[in-house]
């Protein structure tokens, strides 16, 4: 069996945690879960008033209980400084919507939200090697060294100056020592000079 080796980079810089963006994702997830829980409880009440009982009736009350239990778990995780993920509750809600009359659209919507939540909350990183610069965003952004005028890391600020007049500035997640700055900046200078020599 032949396997391809995992690509390694010379430098990987972790950028600052985008608090507002991640908070927005959490708020949207919580809102979706609240809407689903209320919808399932109301449907359970309607079924009860119409004399229904059994599995489908019970599910309409069990899913909100699981949703709120997971919500509390996420809150406790967040209070400990751990990033919360609502994807399990969103998947349960998707299943509930699938059982809901004409709820297929919402089931698909909630399933997409469950699948995308974790990749959307990955800490932003920029990777550097001798061929390119890669941002782990969705979708990922890649820049060849031929596209770059200059790269500088100074005072925990990463600056990438592109030849198309685009300037990217990002703050770094951890303190960088002057020695690390010097080493990284020297590496980038070599790659830029090499790209000029090729062209």
Q: Specify the pLDDT at position 12.
A: 86
- Residue 54: its pLDDT value, please? 64
**pLDDT of residue 110 exceeding 90:** yes
Contact 158, 170 (CB under 8 A): yes
Tokens read off for 67: 């949703």
> Predicted confidence band at 2 (pLDDT cuts at 50, 70, 90)?
very low
Categorize the per-residue pLDDT at 1 as very low, low, confident or very high, splitting at 50, 70 and 90. very low
pLDDT reported for residue 52: 66
pLDDT in tens, 116-169: 998 888 888 888 988 989 988 767 788 999 999 999 999 888 999 999 988 988
What is the distance of C-alpha 115 from the center of its chain? 10
What is the percent of the chain with per-residue pLDDT over 70, rounded to a whole number?
91
Instruction: Say if residues 191 and 130 touch (Cβ distance below 8 Å).
Output: yes
**pLDDT given for residue 5 in this prediction:** 43
pLDDT at 115 over 80: yes
Q: Count Cβ atoms below 10 Å from residue 93 Cβ, excluding itself.
A: 33
Using only C-alpha atoms, the chain has a radius of gyration, in whole angstroms, of 24
What confidence score (pLDDT) does residue 198 get? 61
Residue 58: what pLDDT?
Answer: 78
3-state SS class at 35: helix
Phi and psi torsions of 141, nearest 5°:
-110, 135
Which of 79-93, 121-135, 185-199 is most confident? 79-93
Exposure string for 35-59, b = 16+ CB within 10 A, e = fewer: ebbebbeebbeebeeeeeeeeebeb
* Nearest alpha-carbon partner for 157 in 144, 174, 145: 174
Contacts for 157 with CB less than 8 Å, ≥ 6 apart: 169, 170, 171, 172
Q: Which tens digit of pLDDT belongs to each residue from 5-33? A: 456 788 888 888 777 888 899 999 999 99
């Amino acid at each position: 069996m032949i396997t391809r080796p995992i690509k390694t980079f010379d430098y990987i810089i972790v950028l600052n945690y985008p608090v507002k963006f991640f908070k927005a994702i959490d708020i949207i997830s919580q809102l979706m879960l609240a809407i689903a829980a209320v919808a399932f409880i109301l449907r359970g009440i309607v079924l009860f008033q119409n004399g229904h009982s059994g599995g489908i009736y019970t599910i309409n009350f069990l899913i909100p209980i699981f949703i709120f239990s997971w919500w509390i778990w996420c809150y406790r995780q967040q209070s400990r400084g751990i990033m919360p993920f609502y994807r399990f509750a969103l998947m349960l809600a998707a299943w509930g919507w699938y059982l809901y009359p004409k709820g297929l659209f919402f089931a698909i919507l909630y399933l997409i939200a469950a699948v995308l939540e974790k990749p959307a909350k990955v800490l932003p990183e920029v990777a550097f090697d001798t061929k390119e610069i890669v941002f782990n965003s969705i979708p990922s952004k890649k820049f060849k060294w031929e596209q770059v005028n200059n790269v500088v890391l100074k005072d925990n600020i990463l600056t990438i100056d592109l030849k198309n007049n685009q300037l990217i500035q990002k703050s770094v997640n951890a303190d960088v020592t002057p020695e690390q700055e010097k080493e990284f900046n020297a590496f980038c200078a070599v790659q830029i000079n090499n790209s000029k020599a090729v062209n």
